[in-house]
């Protein structure tokens, strides 16, 4: 199964991908996470994208499509030899029409295609509060919120004991730029997938467990 989670910044794509990916044996392909880990390692890719990401702009399509292509080739190889991988779950990709078309081509070249696109819909005024209160594990990328999903011990990741930090792009200027980019570049993709008949919209303005249950239901996996 190949599924995309779409939604504005703060809608809960990462939060839901962490819960649903392991349940359905889908490998998470989160371009933002891949870029942030490249930045942490100060790799060639990381150095190229650091200032773009921290200011809240989009990484160029060629660079983004290339890392997804590599990830999907690894996943396809693992599917052949490993029963524990049943596909992929995209979080934060695609975000432009060029990326959506590239994804269709990559999947077609592997004789597969997208099964569903889940739009997690949250009112704009709620998104700002979610991003402002978000904390992310610097070691494993796990996502928390100071009020709606706090860690057991303040500042420490429940899963790996890593330090929780605030993302550089969760500052007000970057948040405004990211939300505008979503409206201009990414929201139009909803029509692209609606036309293919695979778009499902979920109410993301509910508690985290209810959203998880609704997504599993929509995917026929409840
Ligand atoms: P990325 O890491 O993908 O960030 P984003 O798109 O800005 O999305 P977020 O991670 O902010 O939101 P989310 O929906 O995952 O929300 P979360 O689950 O954390 O990308 C970062 C950057 O990388 C981009 O700006 C760009 O520069 C670059 N990039 C990445 N992909 C790219 C691409 N394809 N092309 C070009 N550039 C790309 O939840 C948010 C908060 O809310 C958390 O604190 C969480 O605990 C809380 N929360 C979640 N669900 C609920 C709920 N139901 N109720 C209450 N609180 C909740
Ligand atoms: Mg995320």
Active site residue 13: yes
Domains of the chain: 2-218 (3.40.50.300)
pLDDT band, residue 62 (cuts 50/70/90): very high
Q: Which-ligand-closest: CA of 166? A: 1
Q: Is-catalytic flag, 95?
A: yes
Other CB atoms within a 10 A radius of the CB of residue 151 amount to 17
The pLDDT value given to residue 77:
85
The answer to whether residue 94 scores a pLDDT higher than 90 is yes
For residue 173, name the pLDDT band (cuts at 50, 70, 90): confident
Closest residue CA from atom 2 of ligand 1? 32
Which residue's CA lies nearest to atom 23 of ligand 1? 32
Q: Which of 25, 48, 126, 167 is catalytic?
A: 167
Residue 91 CA, closest ligand 1 atom number:
3
| C-alpha–C-alpha distance, residues 81 and 91, integer Å | 24
Is 134 labeled as catalytic in the residue annotation?
yes
- Residue 200 predicted with pLDDT over 90: yes
To the nearest whole percent, how much of the chain has pLDDT over 90? 83
- Per-residue pLDDT, 171: 85
**Is 12 a pocket residue for ligand 1 (Cβ < 6 Å)?**
yes
Rounded Cα distance, 182 and 208, in Å: 22
pLDDT for 172 = 85
Rounded to two decimals, what is the model's pTM?
Answer: 0.94
Closest-CA residue to 93 (of 170, 4, 17):
4
Query: What's the chain's average pLDDT?
Result: 94
pLDDT at 69 over 80: yes
Distances (CA, A) of 194 to 121, 132, 198, 199, 200: 15, 31, 6, 5, 8
For the segment 6-28, the average pLDDT, to the nearest whole number, is 96
How many secondary structure helices (H) and strands (E) does the chain include?
A: 9, 8
Residue 80 confidence (pLDDT):
76
Query: How would you class 207 by CB atoms within 10 Å of its CB: exposed for 0-12, middle for 13-18, buried for 19 or more?
Result: exposed
d(CA 219, CA 155) in angstroms, rounded, equals 34
CA dist 192 to 53, 97, 117, 141, 179, Å?
A: 26, 8, 10, 30, 20
Q: Which atom of ligand 1 is nearest to the CA of 174?
A: 25
Count of other CB atoms within 10 angstroms of residue 171: 15
pLDDT tens-digit series, residues 70-85: 999 988 888 777 678 8
Fill in the DSSP letter of residue 94: -
> Of the bound ligands, which one is closest to the alpha carbon of residue 170?
1
How far is 38 from 41, CA to CA, in rounded Å?
A: 5
Residues 182-204 have a mean pLDDT of: 97
Contact 218, 137 (CB under 8 A): no
């Amino acid at each position: 199964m190949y599924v995309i989670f779409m939604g504005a910044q703060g809608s809960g794509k990462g939060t839901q991908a962490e819960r649903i990916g392991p349940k359905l044996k889908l490998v998470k392909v989160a371009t933002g996470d891949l870029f942030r880990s490249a930045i942490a390692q100060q790799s060639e890719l990381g150095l190229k994208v650091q200032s773009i990401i921290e200011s809240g702009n989009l990484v160029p399509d060629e660079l983004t499509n290339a890392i997804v292509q590599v990830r999907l080739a690894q996943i396809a190889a693992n599917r052949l030899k490993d029963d524990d991988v049943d596909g992929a779950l995209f979080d934060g990709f695609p975000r432009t029409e060029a990326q959506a078309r590239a994804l269709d081509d990559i999947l077609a070249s592997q004789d597969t295609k997208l099964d569903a696109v889940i739009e997690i819909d949250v009112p704009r005024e709620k998104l700002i509060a979610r991003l402002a209160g978000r904390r992310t594990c610097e070691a494993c990328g796990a996502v928390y919120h100071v009020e709606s999903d706090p860690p057991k011990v303040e500042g420490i990741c429940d899963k790996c004991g890593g330090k929780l930090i605030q993302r550089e792009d969760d500052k007000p200027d970057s948040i405004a730029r990211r939300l505008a980019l979503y409206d201009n570049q990414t929201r139009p993709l909803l029509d692209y997938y609606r036309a293919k008949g695979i778009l499902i919209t979920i109410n993301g303005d509910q508690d985290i467990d209810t959203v998880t249950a609704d997504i599993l239901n929509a995917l026929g996996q409840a």
